[in-house]
Structures are given as structure tokens and as C-alpha cells.
Amino acid sequence: MVFQQHLVNKCSPLLISVFSPLRHCANVAATTQKAAHSPPPPFSLKTMDEFDEDAAAMAQRPMPKWEKAGLRIERNCAENQIFLNIVQEIVDKFGWDNSAHDYDMWKKAFGPNFSMFFVLDQNRLPMGCISMALYPQVAHWSMFYVRDPYHGHQLGRALARRALEFAGDRPVFGYAVPEMWHKYEEEYAFHHYLDWRLWSFGAKCADVRPERLDHDSSVELKDWHEASFDKLLLFDRQQTVGIDRSAYLREALRLPQSAAKVAVCRETGDVVGMCQARHLLGDRLGISLFYANSASVASALLRAVLLQFAGPDPSTKFDSFIYKTPSTNTESVRLFRQLVQNGPVERRLFYPQFSRYSLPFPGHRIYSIGDEHVSLI
């Protein structure tokens, strides 16, 4: 014990000299750690509102140029004047086949299955638009337009995104102008086409003479509401490859400033043709919903509708005449030339395009399509 105590006494100064620097280092490290920021805990306690705020902050995206410009997108504006403001500009620039009554009719016909998205400025003036009408098997988009001052503001993509979201998983169909079909194909996967193009013919009403067209004694011509609507729908489905357009037809055939007739076969009582004339914006006379099983029935229908709605000289009521026919229907083209004869003719070209897959609308029975925006054909 004496020896051990002696050894401890002898070594204590040495142990103190060895461990004192280590104790000093530990003290310094502790002081440094207190001065530094503490590491984050493995989890944090937050309210759900705080988590929602964090998620919203993480999801923030750069504001697109159109939003920075004070524009906003609104669906199915209540004011018809907003539609008239933008559609008049479109008609003046591109000659589209719009009536002043289209917007109200589309909303009535399709109800919740119709959307027209308008781009509005702070004064609720329209700067762009797009429309989408839903059928069970397909969606029809149109009215895709952005005013020149807002090109390059990412508005086209914003409008298309809303319209395509509204269409859901349906294939989407539309008539593309030559400047746009390639963009629709590349950006929106509109890879599928019909075996015909749409020709929109325009002529001066001073050159239109309905008496040049022929009668057909095999059919009885009736105002559309005098014929069986069920038989009219059966005939319509031959052109639409089975798609039910009953809600659309009920409203379209009642369109103000229009007249429509149906051809009924005297032998069978079946509907074998229909045709509508409409007053279009710009004092234009348009032919719509014009389908027939034969060229002779088509001639008789067009003659009767024009005489009833526009008279023997349509130029007393209208300035120009619009007729929109599939490029493969040579009988329809011949009928138009017979009606107009030697007058000058303007022709516009449209591409019928589908996403996902196409539907084989029969061009040989379509003489002049309905409005090119929601009617499919």
C-alpha cells in the first residue's frame, strides 16, 4: 500500500500534464458546438395548414406571360356580347361560318358537355378563345384563336390544355386550317386523318340562282318539323357512323334566321336527305347540315331551301354564299358549280384531324357540313 501510494504520488503530475490538454480540447469542442447551428431534427412538428403552405410554395411555377399581362381565362361567359366581339374579328379575318346565335345554341344543345374558354383582359374584352363539344364517342374542338398582340404569350398552350382536359379520354376531332394542322399533329398528337379534306367554297350571291338546280319527283320535301324526328335521326346516324346528335339537331334546326327541309322517299317513307340554310355573320348565306343519299335528292333539297330562305335572287338579302363540302364528293362540287355557274369562286382548305383514332365519316353523302365548330360533319 505504501508503494502504491508512492507510485500515485509520483505519477500524478505526469497524468495531469497528459490529460489536461485533452480536457481543454473537449471544452473547446463543446463551446464551438454551442456556437454553431444545431442540425435539423429527423422530423418536425407542423400543423396541416403549414404543410399545405409548404406544398403550395414548392408547387409554385413561374407566372406565364399572359398572366403577367393581366389576362385570365374564363369558361362559358354569361355575356353573349363577349362571344360576338371575338367571333366578329375571327369572321373578318378568316371567313369562318359563324352565326350570331351560335354560342347560345351550343350551350343549350350540349349543356355541361360544352365549354368555350375565353381569354379576358381587365375590361372583360376577349383576347382569345377555344371551344370543345362532347359527344359520347368523340369531342369536337374549334374556335381556337389568339389575338395578334398576345402571340408569344403562351396563351395557345394554356387554352389547349384546358380544352383537352375537358375532353377527357375521348378522341378529339377538328378542322385545321393549313397553317395549323402540322402544329396540332406535333404538339397535340392529332395524327389521324379522314380520306377527304374539307373545301369551303365562297361565291357572290349575285351569281347564285336556285332555279338552275333540278327537281326530284321520287321524294317529298317537308319542313324539318313536319317529318318524323326519329326517322331523321336514323338518317343522320348514317353520316355520323352511329353517333347520336339528337340534342344538337333539335337546337341547330331551330336556329334563328335559318330554314331547313327534309327529303322523304315517296315509296318507303324514309328520310333520305336534309338541308339547312343559315344567315351568317357578315351578311352571308351558308348551307349546313346538307346530306343526301343521291345527287338528285341533294339538288332538289338545295333548290327548295334556297328558294324558301333567300328567294330566286339571294343577292337581295345576302352578299356572299358559303358551301363546305368534302373534297371527294364530286357530285357535290358539280352541284355547287351548277348553282353558281360562271361566277368567281373562292376556295379554302381545311384538314379533318383526330387524336387517337379517326372515325370514317362518309364523304360521298355529305354535301355541306353543319357549322364547322361543334357539329362534327
- Give the model's confidence band at 124: pLDDT under 50 very low, under 70 low, under 90 confident, else very high: very high
- Give the model's confidence band at 8: pLDDT under 50 very low, under 70 low, under 90 confident, else very high: very low
pLDDT at 60: 63
What is the dihedral sign for C-alpha 171, 177, 178, 179?
Answer: negative
pLDDT at 30: 39
Give the CA angle between residues 376, 92, 174 to the nearest 5°. Answer: 20
- Give the model's confidence band at 67: pLDDT under 50 very low, under 70 low, under 90 confident, else very high: confident
* Average pLDDT estimate for 220-231: 98
* Average pLDDT estimate for 85-112: 96
Contact between 289 and 253 under an 8 Å Cβ cutoff? The reply is: yes
- Which residue would you say has higher pLDDT here, 286 or 14? 286
Of 184, 376, 173, 366, give the one whose Cα is nearest residue 273.
Answer: 366
Phi, psi of 209 (to 5 degrees): -135, 100
Tens digit of pLDDT for each residue in 294-332? 999 999 999 999 999 999 999 999 999 999 999 999 999
- CA 345 – CA 341 distance, rounded (Å): 10
The b/e string for 140-157 (b: 16+ C-beta within 10 A; e otherwise) is bbbbbbbbeebeebebbe
**Cell (9 digits) for 352:** 379533318
Hey, what's the torsion of the CAs at 113, 139, 369, 216, to 10 degrees? -80
pLDDT at 343: 86
- Give the model's confidence band at 49: pLDDT under 50 very low, under 70 low, under 90 confident, else very high: low
Cβ neighbors of 170 (< 8 A, separation 6 or more) are 134, 135, 137, 138, 139
Phi, psi of 87 (to 5 degrees): -70, -30
pLDDT at 32: 37
pTM: 0.83
User: In the chain, which segments carry CATH 3.40.630.90?
Assistant: 198-368
- CA 360 – CA 364 distance, rounded (Å): 11
* Average pLDDT estimate for 135-144: 97
Residue 35 has pLDDT above 50, yes or no: no
Hey, what's the torsion of the CAs at 361, 363, 364, 366, to 10 degrees? 90
Residue 127 has pLDDT above 60, yes or no: yes
Percent of residues, the chain, with pLDDT higher than 70? 84
Extract long-range pairs of 103-109: CB within 8 Å, 24+ residues apart. Answer: 104/80, 105/251, 105/252, 105/255, 106/131, 106/133, 106/373, 106/374, 107/76, 108/251, 109/133, 109/247, 109/248, 109/250, 109/251, 109/252, 109/374
- Which residue would you say has higher pLDDT here, 276 or 18? 276
Minimum mean pLDDT range among 10-19, 80-89, 246-255: 10-19
User: In the chain, which segments carry CATH 3.40.630.30?
Assistant: 65-193
CATH architecture of the domain 65-193 equals: 3-Layer(aba) Sandwich (3.40)
Tens digit of pLDDT for each residue in 194-215? 999 999 999 999 999 999 999 9
- Give the model's confidence band at 341: pLDDT under 50 very low, under 70 low, under 90 confident, else very high: confident
pLDDT at 269: 98
Tens digit of pLDDT for each residue in 233-252? 999 999 999 999 999 999 99
Residue 193 has pLDDT above 60, yes or no: yes
CATH fold of the domain at 198-368: Aminopeptidase (3.40.630)
Averaged confidence pLDDT in the chain: 88
pLDDT at 17: 40
Residue 4 has pLDDT above 90, yes or no: no
